[in-house]
Structure 1
Amino acid sequence: MNRHVRRVVRAGLVLGAVIAGVVAYRRLRTRPTQREPEPITERHSGAFLVRRRCEPDRLEDVRDAVERHGGTSADEWLLALEGASTASLFLDRTGDDPELVWYVEVPWAAVEQWDGDDPETTVAAAFPLTHEALDDADEPVDRELLVHAVHPSRPRRTVVDAVALEGTGDALEREAQADRTADRSVDVELVRMDLESGVPERFADWFAALSRNVTDGELRLNRIEAWSIEMLEAEDMFTESIFLERRPDGYSLLGYMETAEMARVYDAYYDTWNPVARASELVLGRVLVDPAVILEYPLETDVELLAHATNPDRPRRASACERFSSESSAE
């Protein structure tokens, strides 16, 4: 069997498995989908990553500086950007030099109110920690957001450590429950996934173009978005973002996850015929250099969470993004 035929056979097996999963899943779903408010996706809210290189022999000094700002109880200082709704600070030891990585989520309606034409520059200028051991990352990185998804009843106030959000009842009951609890403990992870060269990189470019069409409102993925929300609710995944980074030495995906309990995410992920879960497992298993870095639990990464914060009014639904940005501007 020549190489071309083998590629066709593999592609056919993947497509066949995905279709079979979709059919089986639709047969299992006997309850009609209720019409609920539109969920937050990359069409409504953006997410950004900013890196700062850290001198290797000054890591403890930087840790001390983070602790002085509040550590894992961080709030205003980590959300030091107009309209920021969720933020996390990580120490990334994946590369040759350690880096601090700031993740921040901002509704697009808030981004539109910023001064200046380049949101990336505005976010970079708002990096929450200033220290003489930190410097701009030397390596050029072309980064863009591929996927952003939000649990429709995610807690608005969180602390680090995992206790699951109850997944029972309808959407309004779950949202009311989240409001009754002032602080929800969470697991937060940032996972780097290197892509194989060649076809996987071209696939990532195609997916990035597709994502831009979704963000611009030119493409609607209603059924896929509904499946995605079902997975978020089953996993208790509060906030999830996936970035594509293009570097001189290759492409990588960066996955950000804020969840009630990471173990529950993997239990739910592998215990469903949800097409989004099964298709992602097949694709990631074929495009990543090391699929185990994201497909196996427990996660084994060189990225450490230093601080995490959420705005007490962070939006859960698409309709709340505009209101949240207006309230943030008025403060």
Structure 2
Amino acid sequence: MSPPRTDDPGDASTDDASDGGVPPGYPERGGIDVFDSLLLRQPIADGETAAVWELLAAWADDHRDGDVRTLLPVDGVTLVTLFLDDGGFGRTDGADRDPGRGDALLWYVEVVDADADAWRTPDATVRDASPLFEAGLADLLAGEPTVHAGGRDGHRYVTHVTNPRRRERYADVVGRSLVAPVVGDELPIPVAIVSLALRPGATSALVARAIDLVNWLKRFDRVQSWARDETDTVEAEAMYTESLLLETVGDRQVVHYYMETEDMDRLFEAFYESDDWEARLSERLFRRVLADPAAFLEPALETDCEVLIHAVDPERP
């Protein structure tokens, strides 16, 4: 529920994991724009959706004690959520689903640095690294994958927010690194992905220009240092992770919004009870620019895609 903010991705890292459990190369803590994120949509072959569902359920059930390094062992990966997209992701015409588009496996991946070599070719990296493909997933996918990330094919990075205390909070609430078999189970915490269309025409164009300006301002140290610790609202909402990505689709912009939170009711209560100027400003902005503000601003937020597997690094900041 946070407005666009900025941060310094060049946070200092520790030399070992003994001080607070932070691994080498990781930032010491979370905050605003400390991490990066991307979405990878892999089409499922016709008629194979049930087989994908069953494969992931069986794999997750066999790896109940695993974590994100079990699911995607690539340096710098801190969080992965696998969704089943049955045509709802990215819709802009008011319809819930697009059966003609086909089903897909949607990967949400949080990384320390999206500019690392591994993420120049996300599909190849995921296919080469994840044991799901050796387990048979490769035979169930077909068609060209789509990468949704800042700077790619009409995409604009907006912001990525992490609660500086999410590691401790997650351990207290969930207790396990890999929430599995998730497929068919109820998650102990809400995780959602939703695509929100902006009003077409001038509104979408204005928002796109505003995001470009914010991203330009992020280059300045003073802006970065001002925004770094603006996480009071995130803490009050018990939000763990929040990511916004803007994509140009036709004559409008679409916000792809991901969230991992401790409690959906608490999130909305804290958001509307807060007198923080950022919370109130963000509410006004969303009501003005979203084509359907209620879909985002009225509880509870409904995910566009079914969560299949949710895995984290237990040492993530």
Q: Structure 2 length as normaliser, TM-score?
A: 0.69
Instruction: Give 1:210 deviation, angstroms.
Output: 3.4
CA distance in 2, matches of 1:145, 1:40: 16
Bigger-Rg structure (1/2): 1
Instruction: Give 1:45 deviation, angstroms.
Output: 1.7
Q: Taking structure 1 as reference, are residues 297 and 56 closer, same or farther at Cα in structure 2, changes over 3 Å only? A: farther
CA distance in 1, matches of 2:204, 2:251: 12
| 1:149 aligned residue | 161
Instruction: Give 1:190 deviation, angstroms.
Output: 0.8
Identity %: 29
Q: Taking structure 1 as reference, are residues 153 and 81 closer, same or farther at Cα in structure 2, changes over 3 Å only? A: same
- Code of the residue aligned with 1:310 in structure 2: it is V
Q: Deviations over 1:6-26 (max 9, x none)?
A: xxxxxxxxxxxxxxxxxxxxx
CA distance in 2, matches of 1:217, 1:92: 38
Aligned length, in residue pairs: 254
CA distance in 2, matches of 1:65, 1:115: 29
CA distance in 2, matches of 1:245, 1:124: 22
| 2:82 aligned residue | 89
Unaligned runs of 5+ in 2: 1-27, 89-96, 180-187
Instruction: Give 1:163 deviation, angstroms.
Output: 4.4
**Partner of residue 261 from structure 2, selected from 248, 259, 263:** 259
CA distance in 1, matches of 2:214, 2:297: 23
- Code of the residue aligned with 2:31 in structure 1: it is I
Q: Taking structure 1 as reference, are residues 221 and 82 closer, same or farther at Cα in structure 2, changes over 3 Å only? A: closer
Q: Deviations over 1:43-97 (max 9, x none)?
A: x321111111224532111111211321695623433322101111111230522
Q: Which structure 2 residues correspond to residues 115-194 of structure 1 after superposition, within 5 A?
A: 115=117, 119-122=119-122, 125-127=125-127, 128=130, 129-130=132-133, 131=137, 132-135=139-142, 136-137=144-145, 142-155=154-167, 158=170, 163=173, 185-194=188-197
**Partner of residue 212 from structure 2, selected from 209, 212, 216:** 209
Q: Taking structure 1 as reference, are residues 300 and 312 closer, same or farther at Cα in structure 2, changes over 3 Å only? A: closer
CA distance in 1, matches of 2:307, 2:169: 17
Q: Deviations over 1:224-252 (max 9, x none)?
A: 5544x011100110111111122346421
Q: CA contact under 8 A between 1:58 and 1:133: conserved in structure 2?
A: yes
| 2:106 aligned residue | 101
Q: Does 1:52 align with 2:52?
A: no
CA RMSD of aligned residues (A): 3.2
Unaligned runs of 5+ in 1: 1-36, 165-180, 316-331
Q: Which has the higher helix share?
A: 1
Instruction: Give 1:208 deviation, angstroms.
Output: 3.0
Matched position secondary structure for 2:121: helix
| 2:60 aligned residue | 70
Q: Structure 1 length as normaliser, TM-score?
A: 0.66
| 1:272 aligned residue | 274
Q: Taking structure 1 as reference, are residues 147 and 195 closer, same or farther at Cα in structure 2, changes over 3 Å only? A: same
Q: Deviations over 1:188-209 (max 9, x none)?
A: 1111101111122223322332
CA distance in 2, matches of 1:239, 1:50: 18
Q: CA contact under 8 A between 1:157 and 1:311: conserved in structure 2?
A: no
Q: Taking structure 1 as reference, are residues 312 and 156 closer, same or farther at Cα in structure 2, changes over 3 Å only? A: farther
Q: Taking structure 1 as reference, are residues 106 and 139 closer, same or farther at Cα in structure 2, changes over 3 Å only? A: closer
**Partner of residue 281 from structure 1, selected from 265, 280, 283:** 283
Q: CA contact under 8 A between 2:82 and 2:310: conserved in structure 1?
A: yes
Q: CA contact under 8 A between 1:187 and 1:260: conserved in structure 2?
A: yes
Q: CA contact under 8 A between 2:32 and 2:229: conserved in structure 1?
A: no
